[in-house]
Amino acid sequence: MKKILSFILGAVVALNLSISVANAAAKEVRIAFFLEWPTPNQEDKVKKLFDKALGVPVKWTNFSNGGAMTDAMLAGDIDISYSQGLVPFINAVKSKAPLKLVDVAMEYGMGGTTCVTSKASGITKANASELEGKKVAVPLGTMAEYVFDESMKVVGANKSKMTIIQMDPEEGAAAIVAGDVVMACLFGGNSIKAALTVGTRLLTVQEARDAGIKGIDITSVTDKFMKENPGMLKTFIEVTHEANARYAAGKSDLNVIAKDAEMSVGDMKETLGGFVFLNAADTKKSMESGGNLDGFLKGMGTPNGAVDTSFLPL
């Protein structure tokens, strides 16, 4: 009896002590990014320019969706998430995660995130209400879900009458190819390309732009890293903006970016071409009240105080 009690007490004490042992000043910076999602700063990543600019080694880890990025940040394995989708970030902040939005990575039309209907089903924008009662694959809790919601409003289909299947983009692409679903909403160049072999975009890039459906990817950071290494965070954002400026000037090494994104140069150029990289001033405008990002955040009921513009290189 005594042994059992002391064991239980010991376990309680051990659990309570394991709170989170403070790690010493950042010996490395851990950054999350997406594959199949080319960005100009990947050139800096490959050429180790981030390591030089930050003065410590930078470790890059790729993720398949923004929710997983949040999980890793909360578990203390990632410091900065670059180009996390806004929707996963909002979900995280709504669920009390101590994260901050510090930069807009890019805005994009439906080039990078889109819904594809299969040709076999014969469903297009004109008869989209036929989607009702059928199966559609949507990666829930990501930007693609937002695009799905908005697209359904545009084409006038009732999404509550559809059978929504939770599938990550790669699986969604496989499901539409196999004919299991009539529509798949996806992000990522290779997945969209695979889906387009058997389907067409529900809304073309132009149509989506006209309807005001716009994706925003952001840079998010853990509160802890932000407080501890504000200088590094600022440098990271600065280098990223420099890379964007270099891309805008046509001086980026596209081969390097394509290889790092694990895409062919042609596909990569197409995807990258759909991205709009804002300069620091425009980013700030977007993040402040009345801006694009701010409107998006408010529209989705995000709690206040999740945005910090003080790290932008202005």
Partner 1 sequence: MITGITTFLIIFAVVGAILYGRKLAKNEKLDAVFGNPERAKGGAHWIIVGTSFLLLTWLYYSWDLAKSFYPQSANELCQVAKVNDSLLSLKYLFPIVEREFKSTSIIKNENRNIEKLANEIKNSPNVKDQDKNKLLIFIEKTKKTIPLLTNEKLLENETKNKIRELTNRITWLTEDFQKIDYPPIKSIEEENKRIEALKIQGGWGSSGTAVENTIEIPTIPETKKGLKFDAAAKDLTLISEDFFKLRNHNSQYKVLIKEIKDDIKKYRSELGESEEVASALAKDVLKIARRIEYGSIFPPNTLDAMEQSIVEFDQVQKKEQGSLRLVDIFLFPSGTIISSGPNCSEQGSGRWLPKPSDTLKKFALILKPSVGFKNIPLIWYEMMDVSKIVGFIMPDWLADIIPGKYPVHSADGTVKPNFKSKVLNVVTGEFKLFKIPVPMGHIWDSFLRVFLGLTLGIIFGVPLGLFMGLNRFAKGFFDPLIELYRPVPPLAWAPLVITVFGIDNIGKVFLLFMVSFSIMIISARAGASGTQLSKIHASHSLGASKWQILRYVIFPNSLPEILTGVRVAVGMCWGTLVAAEFLAGTTGIGFVENVAKKYFQYEVIWITIFVMGMLGLLFDVVLRKIIEKTIPWHGKG
CB within 8 Å of 7: residues ≥ 6 apart: none
Signed CA dihedral, 255, 258, 264, 266: sign only: negative
| Pair 185, 136: CB distance under 8 Å | yes
Output phi, psi for 251, to 5 deg.
Answer: -105, 5
**251 lies in the binding site for partner 1 (CB under 8 A):** no
Tell me whether residue 102 or residue 216 sits nearer to partner 1 (CB atom).
102
Is 98 a binding residue for partner 1 by CB under 8 A? The answer is: yes
Report d(CA 241, CA 211) in Å as an integer: 28
**Comparison of 159 and 269: residue with beta carbon closer to partner 1:** 159
Answer for which of 59, 134, 193, 234 binds partner 1 (CB under 8 A) is 234
User: Which residue of 164, 205, 211, 245 would you call a contact of partner 1, by CB under 8 A?
Assistant: 164
Residue 306 phi, psi (nearest 5): -90, -5
Bridge partners (DSSP) listed for residue 83: none
Name the minimum Å distance from CB 193 to partner 1: 19
Note whether 94 binds partner 1 by CB under 8 A. Answer: yes
Q: Residue 10 is which amino acid?
A: G
Check if the beta carbon of residue 56 is closer than 8 Å to that of residue 26: yes
- Shortest distance, position 204 Cβ to partner 1, whole Å: 28
**Residue 171 interacting with partner 1 (CB under 8 A):** yes
Q: Which residues bind partner 1 (CB under 8 A)?
A: 8, 12, 15-16, 18-20, 22, 24-25, 52-53, 55-56, 67, 70, 91-92, 94-100, 135, 137, 140-142, 160, 163-167, 171, 174-175, 178, 180-181, 223, 227-228, 230-231, 234-235, 303-306, 308
